[in-house]
Every structure is written in C-alpha cells, then in structure tokens.
Amino acid sequence: MAGIETIAIILILIFSVIIHETAHGWAAYSLGDPTAKLAGRLTLNPIAHLDPVGSIILPLFLIFLSKITGGAVIIFGWAKPVPVNPYNFKDKKYGELKVAAAGPLSNILLAVIFGILIRYGSSFLNEQALFLAGYVVWINLILAVFNLMPIPPLDGSHILFALLPSSANKIKFVLSQYGMIFVLILIFFFSPVIFYIVRFLFQIITGIGFNF
C-alpha cells in the first residue's frame, strides 16, 4: 500500500503543479503576453512542463523524509517555470500580481472542487476515491499556501513586490538576494506552521480532519 500511496502522491503533485504553471501562462496570455503560448506551455501535456528535479526527484526525497520523520516535512515540488514577459502586459501596474496569483488560485480552486466532492460524495464514492480526493485537496492546499509565502522565487513575492512602493526597493533587493535561503528555512523550520494552516483549511473545505 505504501508504494501505491507514494505513486498516487507523485501523480497528484505532478497534475497539480502542471495546472499551477498552466494557470500562470493563461493569465499572462489573457493580459496580452503570448510568450507562454509561443513556447508551447498552454497545455496540460506533462512533457511540456515536467522538471526532473522539482517534479520527481525532490518529491520522492521529501516523501521518504516524511515517512522517517512521521510526516513533519512539507511534500511539494514544481514544474518548469512558464516563460512570461511582463512588458507585454496590458496592465503594467498589476499584471505581474495577477499572473503570480493565478497559480495559487488554481490550486485553491482544485482543493475546493475535490473538497466539495469529499463533503457531499460519500454516498456514491468508494473509500479509495475519497482517499485520493483527500490527497488532491491536501497537496493543492500545501502548494497554494507555500507559494503564497512572500519569499522569492515564490509567487507570494511577486504579489508583495507589486504592492510595495518604489521606496521599498531595498527590501526587494534583500529578499531577492537571499530568497532561496529563506525558502529552505521556511521548509525545514516552519513546516509545522504551514501544516497548521493547511489542516485548518482542509477541515473547512471538506468538513473532516486530515487522517491519511
């Protein structure tokens, strides 16, 4: 069962990060930027999006780490970033914010859809289907909450930078210079905080606790 569960988590994660990246591309395209479309990235075909490290190797390592630590590690990953040219945006002021927000919002939407399925589908869905739906909600909430953290290169940093005044350029510079260090600190030291937020949201959306 553990092997099947690991495969299920990887497949759900891949599906979720592809939706996330495609949402960025479609948001940019709707704002007048054809870069992602020209690069063939407005598709759900995994081949166009998969990153060997972020989509497969890292998730497998984090799943292994989660097993030996009793689930105290965030399981996440990424696809290849969708190319975007903000100079093409019709909305110069908030275009980057909208494109950045599209990824996490797509994950939240997936979590809500499958959460409703769990909440109201117990009468016609079997236990295995509900189990997989629970993982879809859980993983997408982790992706949304994690990516909304205001740390480069996460989406939350682009949202923050779009809202900060030009006088805050020093803050932007420091965050950009040491962003990956802050991300690693977030993963290894603040995972319990993210888990708490995700568990809370999971219960609100599904009506049940996370017991997988």
Reported as a single tens digit per residue, the pLDDT across 64-96 is: 877 777 766 667 778 888 999 999 999 999 999
Question: Is a pLDDT exceeding 60 seen at residue 208?
Answer: yes
Residue in 5, 21, 96, 127 annotated catalytic: 21
pLDDT digits (tens, 9 = 90+) for 161-183: 889 887 777 888 888 888 888 88
* Rounded Cα distance, 102 and 105, in Å: 5
Distance CA 172, CA 192 (A): 26
| Per-residue pLDDT at 1 | 45
Q: How far apart are CA 35 and CA 32, in angstroms?
A: 9
Q: Look at residues 106, 133, 132, 126 and name the one whose alpha carbon lies nearest to residue 206.
A: 133
- Rounded Cα distance, 23 and 169, in Å: 28
Cα dihedral 155, 142, 105, 148 sign: negative
Average of per-residue pLDDT across 20-29:
96
| Count of C-beta atoms within a 10 Å radius of residue 53 | 11
- Known catalytic membership, residue 21: yes
Give the pLDDT score at 73.
Answer: 62
pTM beyond cutoff 0.85? yes
* Cα 21 to Cα 18: distance, rounded to the nearest angstrom: 5
Cis peptide before 83 (omega within 30 of 0): no
Give the DSSP letter of residue 86: G
Residue type, 190: F
